[in-house]
Structure 1
Amino acid sequence: MATELDHHCPNCEAERAFYRTAAMNVHLGLKTKWSCPDCEYGFIRIAADDDISTATA
């Protein structure tokens, strides 16, 4: 699994390289926490059949 993810940061209002801060398997799939190194905005993504993400919530 990658340790870096390009994603839009709403706090910085720009595309940033987010870094994986944690990952674990849960019953829905692989739960991964991502964090922006510039402002510490973070979101969680669960990789399953249908991706679940708090970034779009």
Structure 2
Amino acid sequence: MPTARRAAWFTAAFVFAMPPMLAMFKDGDLTRDTWVRSVGFAVSIAVIVAIFFGEDTP
């Protein structure tokens, strides 16, 4: 279930994952394909981080 804590973890992880993904997939110029792949991988990393670190502790 989405919570504010998970949203915060997702946002933080996405912000930190996006630049390395752009650098990893960049082949010369930044193309649309580079952006799509980078965003896809950054989102998947951010979702995993949000699931594991964003758990509500009782």
Which protein has greater RCO, CA pairs closer than 8 Å, 6+ apart? 2
More strand by share: 1
Give the TM interval when normalised to the shorter protein: under 0.3
Q: TM-score of the superposition, structure 1-length normalised?
A: 0.26
Larger radius of gyration: 2
More helix by share: 2
Q: TM-score of the superposition, structure 2-length normalised?
A: 0.26
